[in-house]
Amino acid sequence: MRVNYIPTAPAEEPSDIDLGPEDLDGGWLPYARRWLAAAVSAGVPEPNAIVLGTVDEHGHPATRTVLCKGIDAEGVTFFTNYGSDKARHLDAVPYASATFVWLPLHRQISIRGPVVRVSAEETEAYWRTRPRGSQLGAWASQQSQPIASRADLDHALVEAGERFGVDGDIPVPPFWGGLRISPDFVEFWQGRPNRMHNRVRTRLVDGRWHTQRLQP
């Protein structure tokens, strides 16, 4: 069960066949956006999915897949119930990793850094873009808490719908909002034949980014 990666790149970016440290001279963000756009163009399922890694108060790691809802100079943003396992982990240890995995393109980007909550205004702006069903689901679910049955979960959603009606505005739950990873470490990975992959890492040290190629 092993793939011998063959160098490929979308037609519009042939220079991406072999990424080198010099390609990140303009910073990590332009290339991250470029690779994300390529994944969207290639039809990769859930191209904005990230594997989010956190550590709890006992030092035990946990990973799960969530959707990135923003990537900019400030970092990578996602949204969650602040009572969820991941949010509670980040309250205890406010540092996380996030990895974009685009297997059809033989590419990954891993990002690490401290985590902060986004402003209420930013949460509100994103909340207004969510489908109504997703808004109701955020109210209905006590995320990460046990529940007796699927029927009970479905009933909670029905109750949320009855509470807010069919066409009224649904407010942001007070227990829900955004979290942002502010990178101090970013690594780009490209699959290559014979496990001789490209790895280019950039790290923030004393306010400056330092970039280097790593052996696979």
Catalytic residues, by residue number, are 195
Encoded tokens for 177: 């909002």
Residue 181 sits at φ, ψ, to 5 deg, of -90, 120
**Crossing angle of the two packed helices 150-164 and 132-140, in degrees rounded to 10:** 120
At CA 116, angle to CA 207 and CA 136, rounded to 5? 150
Residue 117 sits at φ, ψ, to 5 deg, of -75, 145
Q: What is the H or E stretch that residue 165 is in?
A: none
Residue 167's CB: how many other CB atoms inside 10 A? 6
Nearest Cα to Cα of residue 77 among 64, 90, 68, 88: 68
Residues 6+ apart with CB under 8 A from 164: 136, 139, 170
